[in-house]
């Protein structure tokens, strides 16, 4: 049975908006031209493939189902996502406590009853260690699995290549074979080999992970024995939600107020400027802290209003997006106000006035389309900053719900582990890797997008 959480709905809305924008942009040359510049950049294309991989994980994790009574295990009746279903082995392979990556035994020694009945201090074998594999055969087993994974990845890649070539051949009315060859050899303005290369890398990594994961804890387990790879993958959704929804929820207000202030000037401008100066004068962290603390009090005093832990965490996530949005919409609003001030004196706006065109129509036809590039740049530019902010806020305990998987919570939980003897490094490393991948890809893409859309930088670059 489908369960639709607030953030699920909104995340899919973002996805739909993105698709809609794509169709809209494809039919307008002034939007198609900058996007063409983006697509022709190798960096941007590679970054986009990586981001797409993250997006697939995040979107799969945003279709929630209530597990039916036939499901077994401790999660019967729980709300789980499609991704959880796919990752069932990872989800249910819970160990007792820390285990290192690819370990067969727990990380810490415990006292167990030996075969002779005497207490024995040893590293107990993991509950979910692959059967019949011991330390001597482990390397071979891992290698065999890896080969299988590479094979899966390559098969998926071939399918991707074929589909892409078929689609392109159809659009260009070219032969399938010729198109497919061009895709790997290059020669088009769009660097297809880069796209296919990055896709191959992503798919092979995914294949290998898929081959290993049912048998090993690829990134180890955390203190309570949960698989770290699973946590890191589940955190992808949190990052994406924060990165996109925050900008989305503030967008209507920022656009409306920014344009209104710049277009009407006078007292409208004064009031709007007052509002955003006041809001931006409060240090962001403190405003978020205050708001989240208030939410916590509210939630702890009204426990009955939330029917499940998942819903409660989800609402808190949405609230966090909202409050993050409130602290960050002022920048966009100010930018839009400035641009509108410039646009309203443009000759074509004056010409519209000379025809007696109504204000609302002028805003919709002349102002809004000419400030949308600023909105787009803000959207892509803010994304990575927000993903990073989530980690910091969760570390200070004013971020997402502690029960929710997020990189910030992972770091928060693991920050003292480096000081342990022996050191536990894999939780931090996993959070680092997954975050770095997402943020780096987003930053590289946003660099190219900004250069393509910002008329100021367009001339400055080669």
Partner 1 sequence: MTAPALVVRDLSVSVGGSRVVDGVDLEVAAGETFALLGESGCGKSMTALALMRLLPPGGRVRSGSVRLDGEELLDLPEYAMRGVRGGRLGMIFQEPQTSLNPVLRVGDQIAEAARLHDPAADPRRRAVELLAAVGIPDPERRVREFPHQLSGGMKQRVMIAMALAGRPRLLIADEPTTALDVTIQAQVLDLLADLRRETGMAMMLITHDLGVVAESAGRLAIMYAGQILESAPVGAFFAAPAHPYGRMLLAALPTGERRGGHLAAIEGRVPSPDEALQGCRFAPRCPQAEARCHRQPPDWHPVGPGHRVRCHLWAQGGHGAHVDVPVAKGPGAEEGAAAPLLETQGLQVHFPIRKGLLKRVVGRVRAVDGIDLHLDAGRTLALVGESGCGKTTCGKALLQLIRPTGGRVLYRGRDLAALSGRALRPFRRELQIVFQDPFAAMNPRMLVGDIVAEGLVAQGLAKDRAERRARVAELLERVGIAPEAAARYPHEFSGGQRQRICIARALAVEPRLIVCDEPTSALDVSVQAQILNLLHDLQTGLGLAYLFITHDISVVAYLAHEVAVMYLGRIVERGRVEAVLAAPLHPYTRALLSAVPEPDPASRRQRIHLEGDMPSPADPPGGCHFHPRCPEADARCAREYPPLRTLSSGRVVACHHVPDG
Partner 2 sequence: MSAYLLRRVLYAIPILIGVNLLTFVLFFVVNSPDDMARMHLGVKRVTPAAIEEWKRERGYDRPLLYNERGEGLARFTDTIFFQKSLALFRFDFGTSDSGRDIGYDISQRMWPSLAIAVPTLLVGLALNVTLALTLVFFRATYVDFWGLVGLVALMSISGLFYIIGGQYLVGKLLHLVPISGYDTGLAAAKFLILPVVVGVVSGIGSGGRWYRTLFLEEVGKDYVRTARAKGLGEARVMFGHVFRNALIPILTGVVVILPLLFMGSLIVESFFGIPGLGSYTIDAIQRQDFAIVRAMVFLGSVLYILGLILTDISYTLVDPRVRLE
- Interface residues with partner 1 (CB under 8 A) are 28-30, 346-348, 350-358, 361, 365-366, 369-370, 462
Helix (H, G, I), strand (E, B) or coil at 65: strand
Q: Burial level of 371, CB count in 10 A (0-12/13-18/19+)?
A: buried
CB 168 within 8 A of CB 184: no
If the CB atoms of residues 113 and 355 are measured against partner 1, the closer one turns out to be 355
Secondary element (H or E) of residue 110: strand 110-113
418 binds partner 2 (CB under 8 A): yes
Question: In the bound complex, what is the minimum distance in angstroms from residue 235's beta carbon to partner 2?
Answer: 12
Q: What CA–CA distance (Å, rounded) separates 58 from 7?
A: 11
392 binds partner 2 (CB under 8 A): yes
Bridge partners for 122 per DSSP: 110
If the CB atoms of residues 229 and 362 are measured against partner 1, the closer one turns out to be 362
Per DSSP, the chain holds a count of helices (H) and strands (E) of: 18, 5
Dihedral in degrees, nearest 10, Cα atoms 317, 323, 327, 329: 80
Tokens, residue 173: 């009315």
283 binds partner 2 (CB under 8 A): yes
If the CB atoms of residues 67 and 285 are measured against partner 2, the closer one turns out to be 285
Tokens, residue 118: 């005497």
Q: What CA–CA distance (Å, rounded) separates 22 from 399?
A: 32
Q: Where are the beta strands (DSSP E) in 31-104?
A: 64-66, 79-81
Q: Where are the beta strands (DSSP E) in 175-316?
A: none
If the CB atoms of residues 106 and 288 are measured against partner 2, the closer one turns out to be 288
If the CB atoms of residues 171 and 354 are measured against partner 1, the closer one turns out to be 354
Residue from 118, 121, 173, 456 binding partner 2 (CB under 8 A): 456
433 binds partner 2 (CB under 8 A): no
Q: How many residues bind partner 2 (CB under 8 A)?
A: 49
Q: What CA–CA distance (Å, rounded) separates 374 from 411?
A: 34
What's the DSSP call for residue 416? T
If the CB atoms of residues 140 and 283 are measured against partner 2, the closer one turns out to be 283
Question: In the bound complex, what is the minimum distance in angstroms from residue 271's beta carbon to partner 2?
Answer: 11
436 binds partner 2 (CB under 8 A): yes
**Polymer length of the chain:** 462
428 binds partner 2 (CB under 8 A): yes
Residue from 1, 118, 281, 422 binding partner 2 (CB under 8 A): 281
If the CB atoms of residues 267 and 355 are measured against partner 1, the closer one turns out to be 355
What's the DSSP call for residue 363? I
Question: In the bound complex, what is the minimum distance in angstroms from residue 126's beta carbon to partner 2?
Answer: 27
Tokens, residue 424: 């536990």
List the single partner that 269 binds among partner 1, partner 2, none, CB under 5 to 8 Å by kind: none
CB 367 within 8 A of CB 358: no
The site map against partner 2 for 184-223 (x = CB under 8 A) is ----------------------------------------
Using left for φ > 0, alpha for ψ between -120 and 50, and beta otherwise, residue 238 falls in alpha
Residue from 166, 290, 351, 364 binding partner 2 (CB under 8 A): 290
If the CB atoms of residues 263 and 407 are measured against partner 2, the closer one turns out to be 407
List the single partner that 194 binds among partner 2, partner 1, none, CB under 5 to 8 Å by kind: none
Binding site for partner 2 (CB under 8 A): 274-275, 277-283, 285-287, 289-291, 293-294, 296-298, 300-301, 384, 388, 391-392, 395-398, 407, 411, 415, 418-419, 428, 432, 435-436, 439-440, 443-444, 447, 456-457, 459-460, 462
């Amino acid at each position: 049975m489908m369960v639709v959480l607030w953030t699920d709905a909104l995340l899919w809305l973002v996805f739909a908006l993105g698709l809609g924008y794509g169709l809209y942009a494809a039919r307008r040359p002034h939007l198609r031209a900058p996007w063409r510049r983006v697509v022709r950049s190798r960096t941007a294309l590679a970054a986009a493939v990586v981001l797409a991989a993250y997006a697939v994980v995040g979107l799969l994790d945003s279709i929630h189902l209530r597990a039916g009574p036939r499901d077994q295990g401790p999660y019967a009746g729980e709300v789980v996502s499609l991704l959880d279903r796919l990752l069932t082995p990872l989800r249910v392979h819970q160990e007792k406590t820390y285990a290192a990556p690819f370990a067969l035994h727990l990380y810490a020694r415990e006292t167990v009853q030996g075969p002779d009945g005497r207490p024995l201090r040893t590293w107990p074998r993991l509950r979910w260690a692959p059967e019949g594999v011991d330390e001597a055969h482990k390397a071979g087993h891992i290698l065999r699995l890896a080969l299988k994974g590479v094979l899966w990845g390559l098969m998926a890649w071939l399918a991707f290549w074929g589909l892409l070539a078929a689609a392109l051949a159809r659009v260009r009315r070219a032969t399938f074979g010729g198109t497919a060859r061009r895709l790997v050899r290059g020669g088009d303005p769009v660097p297809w080999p880069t796209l296919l290369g990055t896709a191959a890398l992503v798919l092979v990594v995914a294949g290998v992970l898929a081959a290993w994961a049912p048998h090993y804890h690829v990134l180890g387990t955390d203190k309570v024995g949960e698989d770290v790879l699973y946590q890191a993958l589940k955190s992808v959704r949190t990052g994406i939600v924060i990165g996109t929804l925050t900008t989305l929820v503030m967008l209507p207000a920022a656009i409306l107020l920014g344009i209104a202030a710049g277009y009407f000037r006078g007292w409208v401008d004064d009031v709007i400027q007052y509002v955003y100066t006041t809001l931006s004068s409060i240090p962001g962290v403190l405003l978020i802290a205050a708001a989240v603390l208030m939410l916590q009090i509210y939630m702890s005093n009204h426990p009955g209003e939330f029917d499940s832990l998942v819903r409660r965490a989800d609402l808190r996530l949405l609230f966090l997006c909202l409050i993050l949005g409130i602290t960050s919409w002022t920048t966009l609003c100010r930018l839009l106000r400035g641009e509108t001030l410039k646009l309203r004196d443009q000759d074509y706006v004056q010409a519209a006035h000379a025809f007696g065109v109504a204000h609302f129509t002028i805003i919709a036809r002349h102002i809004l389309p000419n400030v949308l590039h600023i909105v787009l740049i803000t959207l892509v530019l803010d994304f990575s900053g927000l993903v990073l902010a989530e980690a910091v806020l969760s570390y200070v305990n004013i971020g997402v719900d502690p029960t929710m998987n997020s990189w910030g919570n992972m770091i928060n939980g693991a920050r003292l582990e480096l000081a342990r003897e022996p050191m536990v490094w894999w939780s931090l490393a996993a959070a680092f890797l997954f975050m770095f991948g997402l943020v780096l890809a987003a930053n590289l893409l946003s660099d190219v997008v900004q250069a393509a859309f910002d008329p100021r930088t367009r001339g400055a670059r080669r």
